[in-house]
Amino acid sequence: MKIEIWSDFACPFCYIGKHHLEQAIGSRTDIEVEFKSFELDPQTAIHHDENIHELIAKKYGMSYEQAYENNQRIIQMAAEAGLTFNFDQMKTTNTFNAHRLTQFAKTKGKGNEFAEAALHEYFSNGAFLNDETTLLSIATSVGLAEQEVLEVIRSETYDTEVRNDEEQARQLDITSVPFFLIDGKYAVSGAQPVTAFQSVLAQVDEKNQREKPIILNTDESVPHCDDDHCAIL
């Protein structure tokens, strides 16, 4: 089973939904998870003078107090998922460079590890995801080579890979994240609870079992090929 997750580093529900999915997967080793790039606001500035509460209030046309209370509810939801969110230290920024580094990390088999580390640093530790030193520290913490990471940060490499993920999202009519696509045909949207993910995985398992080829003849004495050789018996 393969699960593709369209997600953004600025999306708190993406991090929560990711952890809910991981809890639903548990110790299963037959599921491949791939992080896909999605920018909620590609035009957002790298630096902001306002804090996250002020930005949310301005964006959604609410009072500072309403924005603060809403963020407190998200913090509680994160805590229930086993995560620690620190909105007061959060440094809102453009996430394109973090997405580029994720695409690079995927080529080294470290895409999910980098995404997890970056989300943790952003939401829990107030990391600024457009600082070269910070991005380098996150990348090397998951085993990526320092010089290669610096070359990616200081260039425009992996721009195309980010845009390809976003174009695929447009083709699939994905307008909000997190968005989970299972085996290319089963979709789940939003930070669903663990039980919902467990139910979905069970349903997909059942469908995959039903869709296996039906063997009508088990006579292995006829010509066939296996891992070792091809034989005429």
DSSP per residue, 79-100: HHTT----GGG------HHHHH
Phi, psi torsion values for 32, nearest 5 degrees: -100, 130
Helix (H, G, I), strand (E, B) or coil at 156: coil
- In this prediction, residue 215 has a pLDDT band, given cuts at 50, 70 and 90, of low
How far apart CA 4 and CA 35 sit, in angstroms, is 6
Please tell me the CATH code under which domain 2-48+91-210 is placed: 3.40.30.10
- Looking at residue 211, its pLDDT comes to 73
Average pLDDT (73-81) is 96
Whether 223 shows a pLDDT value over 90: the answer reads no
Helix (H, G, I), strand (E, B) or coil at 135: helix
In the chain, where are the structural domains located?
A: 2-48+91-210
Whether 216 shows a pLDDT value over 70: the answer reads no
What is the gyration radius of the CA atoms in the chain, in angstroms? 21
Residue with token string 């993406």: 14
Whether 81 shows a pLDDT value over 60: the answer reads yes
pLDDT in tens, 87-141: 999 999 999 999 999 999 999 999 999 999 999 999 999 999 999 999 999 999 9
